[in-house]
């Protein structure tokens, strides 16, 4: 028996409030928006005109607020399609076809109803954090339910467990799974028992594209920003009253504040603003990654607590001997590893350990076994309590630091993982790196048949471009450069990162299609 999606009228005030705060955003394709952006925007793929989108918005709005059934919504859907097909020849004619229209109307109805319900339940639970301490994954166990989601059924975890950040349902188009919130009293009474997360928190293999986000987290952030905006508008209103847009002369009070702020704009502050702006431009262009640093790592005072947190979050072990290393240096390494894993969840390590030879800053250890995680080893010389300061000797990108070293080693893990995913043996890892470097050089206008020009291109990243070093080092240096220096990274590093990401995305796409 199919799950009934329609709400009873007035049953979900939070769902109505959640949906009403969305803005209408015309899009051409279903995947034009990143996952969490859907909590702020209402879209219907292909509805490029604002007036057409508004009609669909009203139909969904009514379904959520009045409790329309799928058939009620479908009737409205066909009326809208017929109206705009007659008025606008460019409108998608397939909307009127019974089979296609029935499918599209069901997708639109179902997606908006289940996401609004999920947001409403999250709002209700988050309003009482001391009561609802755990959540349970509920799969409807229907014939069409995904086998992976059936396996997650019954998972009980704390509401702040990192697993929910990617796996909070719904987890794809047509997914009817739910997140049931459990009270502290139910847990204490033994009515429910906490389980282990069925997958690694960052493993999104069985989640639909663009669905790997928590509706509750995104909605809470949207509410926070809305409250912040209201507060700022109130402050402006209290200070200046209602400012007339035709006023051309600033009041003395406003002018005084403006002058004071202008004085505080030091060259370093202005440069910081420019850097952040350039970072966003390069992120949108795909030249650099969107780096997300886990600030919680800094909060730990004891190595044991930090290690347990990271082992639970990322699934790799940390050598007990690292407890004797400088905690601040180890934190920087963990933040670097964590940031790269956020962008490349496929890149996994099995252990963060110590380098027995204490020869280099860090090394990546590989195994000649397919689909095997790698290891990263660090030494006392650079990461211990009496570490040797970093110097710019040209072998590493500028602004070298402990975190940049972690970025470099994770660069090796990423490219080696990519080679594994493409069914290469370890001996072919260098070939994959060389192909990435050559693609980047070619995209930058370098003739790859000219060996000296390619070497010069690599030298723009670091001295690891010396012919005695491998292209694997060039790729790792480029990864370190773009993660660490952002828009200030070398143009050659950005080109290598872009070529690496394009190749990874192609592998991901082929994996999904197969």
Per-residue pLDDT averaged across 144-160, rounded?
92
pLDDT, tens digit, for every residue of 240-290? Answer: 555 554 555 556 666 676 677 777 777 887 788 888 888 999 999 999 999
Residues 349 and 378 in one domain: yes
Residue 444 lies inside a defined structural domain of this protein: yes
Cβ-based neighbours of 504, under 8 Å, separated by 6 or more: 344, 346, 414, 418
Q: Does residue 414 have a pLDDT over 70? A: yes
Q: What pLDDT is stored for residue 23 in this prediction? A: 76
Residue 471 lies inside a defined structural domain of this protein: yes
Residue 382 lies inside a defined structural domain of this protein: yes
Residues 405 and 480 in one domain: yes
Torsion of CA 79, 85, 86, 89, to 10 degrees: 170
Backbone angles phi, psi at 237, to 5 degrees: -65, -40
Q: What pLDDT is stored for residue 81 in this prediction? A: 78
Helix (H, G, I), strand (E, B) or coil at 141: coil
Number of neighbours of residue 68 by Cβ within 10 angstroms:
23
Last residue of a domain, one of 201, 232, 249: 201
Residues 89 and 138 in one domain: no
Cα angle 158, 159, 160; round to 5: 90
Residue 373 lies inside a defined structural domain of this protein: yes
Q: Is 272 exposed, middle or buried (0-12, 13-18, 19+ CB in 10 A)?
A: exposed
Last residue of a domain, one of 96, 118, 140: 118
How far is 307 from 406, CA to CA, in rounded Å?
16
Q: Does residue 475 have a pLDDT over 80? A: yes
Per-residue pLDDT averaged across 439-451, rounded?
94
Residues 434 and 340 in one domain: yes
Domain that holds residue 401: 295-513
Residues 102 and 156 in one domain: no
In sign, the C-alpha dihedral spanning 501, 502, 505, 507 is negative
In contact, 340 and 347? CB cutoff 8 Å: yes
pLDDT band for position 89 (cuts 50, 70, 90): low
How far is 237 from 224, CA to CA, in rounded Å?
20
In contact, 140 and 176? CB cutoff 8 Å: yes
Q: Using omega within 30 degrees of 0 as the cis cutoff, is the peptide bond preceding 170 cis? A: yes
Q: What pLDDT is stored for residue 1 in this prediction? A: 36
pLDDT band for position 435 (cuts 50, 70, 90): very high
Radius of gyration (Cα) for the chain, nearest Å?
Answer: 27
In contact, 200 and 315? CB cutoff 8 Å: yes
Q: What pLDDT is stored for residue 136 in this prediction? A: 96
Residue 379 lies inside a defined structural domain of this protein: yes
In contact, 464 and 395? CB cutoff 8 Å: yes
Residues 435 and 498 in one domain: yes
How far is 434 from 470, CA to CA, in rounded Å?
8
Q: What pLDDT is stored for residue 232 in this prediction? A: 78
Residue 238 lies inside a defined structural domain of this protein: no
Residue 388 lies inside a defined structural domain of this protein: yes
Q: What pLDDT is stored for residue 157 in this prediction? A: 96
Q: How many domains does the chain have?
A: 3
What share of the chain has pLDDT > 70, as a percent?
A: 86
Residues 322 and 459 in one domain: yes
The DSSP H or E segment spanning 133 is: strand 132-138
Residues 339 and 390 in one domain: yes
Residues 101 and 53 in one domain: yes
Last residue of a domain, one of 67, 97, 118: 118
Residues 19 and 77 in one domain: yes
Q: In the numeric block, which tokens belong to residue 436?
A: 């990435």
Residues 487 and 430 in one domain: yes
Query: Which single residue is written with the structure tokens 């211990």?
Result: 384
Residue 258 lies inside a defined structural domain of this protein: no
Residues 21 and 151 in one domain: no
């Amino acid at each position: 028996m199919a799950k009934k999606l329609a709400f009873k009228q007035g049953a979900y005030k939070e769902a109505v409030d959640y949906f009403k705060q969305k803005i209408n955003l015309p899009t051409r394709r279903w995947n034009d928006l990143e996952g969490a952006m859907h909590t702020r925007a209402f879209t219907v793929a292909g509805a490029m005109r604002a007036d057409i989108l508004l009609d669909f918005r009203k139909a969904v709005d009514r379904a959520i607020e009045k409790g329309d059934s799928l058939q009620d919504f479908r009737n409205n859907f066909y009326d809208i399609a017929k109206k705009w097909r007659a008025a606008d020849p460019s409108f998608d004619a397939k909307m009127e076809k019974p089979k296609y229209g029935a499918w599209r109307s069901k997708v639109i109805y179902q997606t908006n109803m289940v996401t609004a319900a999920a947001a409403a339940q999250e709002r209700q639970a988050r309003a009482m954090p001391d009561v609802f301490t755990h959540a349970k994954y509920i799969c409807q166990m229907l014939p069409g339910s995904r086998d992976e989601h059936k396996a997650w059924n019954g998972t009980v975890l704390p509401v702040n467990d990192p697993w929910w950040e990617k796996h909070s349902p719904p987890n794809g188009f047509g997914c009817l799974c739910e997140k049931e919130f459990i009270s502290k009293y139910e847990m204490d009474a033994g009515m429910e028992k906490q389980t282990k997360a069925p997958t690694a928190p960052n493993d999104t293999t069985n989640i639909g594209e663009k669905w790997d986000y928590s509706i509750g987290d995104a909605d809470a952030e949207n509410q926070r920003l809305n409250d912040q905006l209201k507060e700022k508008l109130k402050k402006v209103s209290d200070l200046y009253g209602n400012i007339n847009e035709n006023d051309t002369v600033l009041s003395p009070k406003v002018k005084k504040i403006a002058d004071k702020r202008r004085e505080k704009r030091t060259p370093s502050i202005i440069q910081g603003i420019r850097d952040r702006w350039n970072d966003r431009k390069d992120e949108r262009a795909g030249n650099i990654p969107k780096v997300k640093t886990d600030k919680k790592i800094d909060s730990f005072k004891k190595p044991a607590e930090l290690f347990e947190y990271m082992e639970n979050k990322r699934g790799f072990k940390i050598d007990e001997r690292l407890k004797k290393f400088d905690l601040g240096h180890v934190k920087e390494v963990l933040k670097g590893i964590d940031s790269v894993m956020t962008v490349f969840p496929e890149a996994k390590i099995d252990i963060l350990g110590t380098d027995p030879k204490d020869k280099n800053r860090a090394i990546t250890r590989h195994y000649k076994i397919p689909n095997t995680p790698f290891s990263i080893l660090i030494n006392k010389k650079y990461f211990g309590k009496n570490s040797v300061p970093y110097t710019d000797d040209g072998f590493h990108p500028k602004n070298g630091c402990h975190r940049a070293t972690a970025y470099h080693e994770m660069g090796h893990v990423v490219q080696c993982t990519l080679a594994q995913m493409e069914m290469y043996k370890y001996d072919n890892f260098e070939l994959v790196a060389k192909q990435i470097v050559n693609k980047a050089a070619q995209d930058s206008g370098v003739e790859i048949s000219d060996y000296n020009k390619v070497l010069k291109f690599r030298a723009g990243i670091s001295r690891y471009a010396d012919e005695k070093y491998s292209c694997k080092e060039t790729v790792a240096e480029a990864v370190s450069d773009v993660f660490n220096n952002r828009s200030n990274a070398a143009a050659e590093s950005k080109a290598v990162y872009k070529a690496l990401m394009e190749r990874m995305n192609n592998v991901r796409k082929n994996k999904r299609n197969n």
